[in-house]
Amino acid sequence: MSSKRVTITDVAREAGLSIKTVSNVINKGGSMRPETRARVEETIRRLGYRINVSARAMKAGRTGLIGLGLNCFDQPFMPYFADSIIAAARERGYGVITDTYPASGIEGVVEETYRLGADGWIFFVGCTLAGGGTVLRQPYPVVAVGDYDVDDEATGGLVDRVTMPNREAMQALTGRLLDDGCRSIAVFGARLPGGSDVASTAERDRLLANGDGTTIQRVQGYVQAFRERGLEPDWRYLDSPSAWTRAGGSQAVRMLFASGLPMPDAIMCLNDASALGAIVELQRRGLRVPQDVRVTGFDNVPESDFSTPGLTTVDPDVTDYARHAVDMLIERIEGLDAPARTYITDYNVIVRGSALA
C-alpha cells in the first residue's frame, strides 16, 4: 500500500461515484442502492481510507491515535488492561480510542474502525477467530492480544501478537499448592468440552490437547502440575460456570455446595474476578479462607490486594503486556515491515492471605 494518505476523492474516483455519495456512506447517511453502498465500503477497505480527524493528520498523514478493541468491561481485567494501554500510549505521544465489540466477535467492530481515524488497532482476541484470524488482515497496522491463535494455516503469522504464559504460570501455582499439601483442587471457570459426560482420561487429554484459548491453556498447566508429581486431578472439580465474573465465582461456589462433593483443599479460579466472588460466597456460607479452603486467582488486578483476605494470584505483568502491544503497533505505524512477531510476558506468583504461607 502506498504511503500517501488516501483521500475521499481517491475513493470516489476508484469507485466511479461522486464525493457526496462516498461521504454519505462514511457518515451512514443518504439513500442509495445496497450494491452502491457495498461498492463504496469495499473500495474504502481496499484503498485503506481513514477519516482525517485533525489538521495535524492532514499535514503528517497520521492522527496520533491508537485504537483499542475489547470484548467487554464486565470484569476487572479489562479496565486494568485498558488503563495500561492508555498509559503506555501516552508515554509515546499517542492517544487511545476504545471500542467494544459485540458477542458476534471482532468482525462486529471492524466496520467502525474505518470511521474512527486511528492509525492502527490493538484487538483483544477473546474467542477463536474464523478463518484462522483473517479478519485481522486490515489496511492499517494491527496487534492482537490474548490467548487464541491468530495464524492462518496458509499464510503463517498474520499480525503481531502479545500473550501470557498461561500454562507455565498455572502449572507453577498449582505445583505450589500441591507441594503445600493440597490434594483436592477445584478449578472455577473450567467447564471443558464435553463437561462431566467425558468419562475417560484419554478423551479429556484429547480435548485439552486440541483446544485453544485461555481456559484450555490454564487447565493444561493445572493438569501438568499434578502429573509431574505422579498424581491425577479429580475431574469432578472441573465442571463449573464459565463466566469469569464475580457473579460467576459466587455461582460456582453455590454449585459446589449443591453437588454434594466434599469441600476441596483449594479453589483455583481462572481469573481474579471469579476468585473475588468465590471468597465472598464462601464467607457468606461460614467458611474461612484460607483455613477451611484456599482460594487463588489469575491476573493480579488492583482489587486483588484489597479483598479480605488478600488474594493469592498470578501476576502476568499486565504493564509489560500493554507496553509491548503499544510499542509493536507504533513500530508498524511508523513503517516497520517485518514478519509477524509474538511476545510472551513473564509472570510471578503473588502470595497473599487467601492461600500459601
* Same domain assignment for residues 37 and 120: no
H or E stretch covering 114? helix 107-116
* Same domain assignment for residues 71 and 87: yes
pLDDT at residue 11 is higher than 70: yes
DSSP state string for 191-231: --TTGGG---HHHHHHHHHH--SHHHHHHHHHHHHHHTTT-
| Mean pLDDT lowest among 116-120, 192-196, 222-226, 272-276 | 192-196
Residue among 319, 318, 327 at smallest CA distance from 298: 318
Is residue 20 a part of any domain in this protein? yes
Is residue 357 a part of any domain in this protein? no
| Mean pLDDT lowest among 99-103, 183-187, 331-335 | 99-103
* Same domain assignment for residues 119 and 219: no
* Same domain assignment for residues 104 and 151: yes
Say if residues 99 and 124 touch (Cβ distance below 8 Å).
no
DSSP state string for 19-81: HHHHHHHHTT-S---HHHHHHHHHHHHHHT-----SHHHHHHS--SEEEEEES--SSTHHHHH
The pLDDT of residue 334 = 93
* Same domain assignment for residues 175 and 279: yes
* Same domain assignment for residues 210 and 301: yes
Is residue 99 a part of any domain in this protein? yes
39-74 burial code (b ≥16 CB/10 A, e <16): bbbebbeebbbbebbeeebeeeebbbbbbbbbbeeb
High-pLDDT (> 70) share of the chain, %: 89
The pLDDT of residue 53 = 55
The mean pLDDT value for 36-58 works out to: 76
Residue 56: which pLDDT band, with cuts at 50, 70 and 90? very low
Is residue 307 a part of any domain in this protein? yes
pLDDT in tens, 268-295: 999 999 999 999 999 999 999 999 999 9
Of the three residues 27, 49, 71, the one that is the final residue of a domain is 49
Say if residues 177 and 356 touch (Cβ distance below 8 Å).
yes
Residue 196: which pLDDT band, with cuts at 50, 70 and 90? low
Considering only residues 71 and 327, tell me which one the structure prediction assigns the higher pLDDT: 327
* Same domain assignment for residues 229 and 145: no
* Same domain assignment for residues 71 and 100: yes
Q: Give whole-number Cα distances, 114 to 73, 87, 123, 136, 146, in Å.
A: 23, 24, 14, 13, 23
pLDDT in tens, 108-140: 788 888 888 899 999 998 877 776 678 888 989
CATH of residue 15's domain is 1.10.260.40
Q: Give whole-number Cα distances, 342 to 103, 311, 331, in Å.
A: 26, 30, 14
Is residue 56 a part of any domain in this protein? no
CATH of residue 203's domain is 3.40.50.2300
Is the link from the previous residue into 193 a cis peptide, with omega within 30 of 0? no
| Mean pLDDT lowest among 57-66, 132-141, 178-187 | 57-66
* Same domain assignment for residues 40 and 79: no
Q: Domain range spanning residue 283?
A: 166-315
- CA dist., res. 276 & res. 97, Å (int): 30
The pLDDT of residue 151 = 66
* Same domain assignment for residues 239 and 323: no
Residue among 267, 261, 257, 250 at smallest CA distance from 177: 267
| Mean pLDDT lowest among 52-66, 72-86, 136-150 | 52-66
Is residue 356 a part of any domain in this protein? no
* Same domain assignment for residues 302 and 327: no
Is residue 129 a part of any domain in this protein? yes
* Same domain assignment for residues 272 and 174: yes
Residue 9 has a CB neighbour count (10 Å cut-off) of 10
pLDDT at residue 5 is higher than 90: no
Alpha helices by DSSP H, 180-317? 201-210, 214-227, 246-259, 272-284
The pLDDT of residue 155 = 41
Is residue 210 a part of any domain in this protein? yes
Considering only residues 284 and 49, tell me which one the structure prediction assigns the higher pLDDT: 284
Q: Which three cell numbers stand for residue 224?
A: 501438568
The pLDDT of residue 192 = 65
The amino acid present at 276, given as its one-letter code, is: L
The mean pLDDT value for 236-244 works out to: 82
- Number of folded domains that form the chain: 3
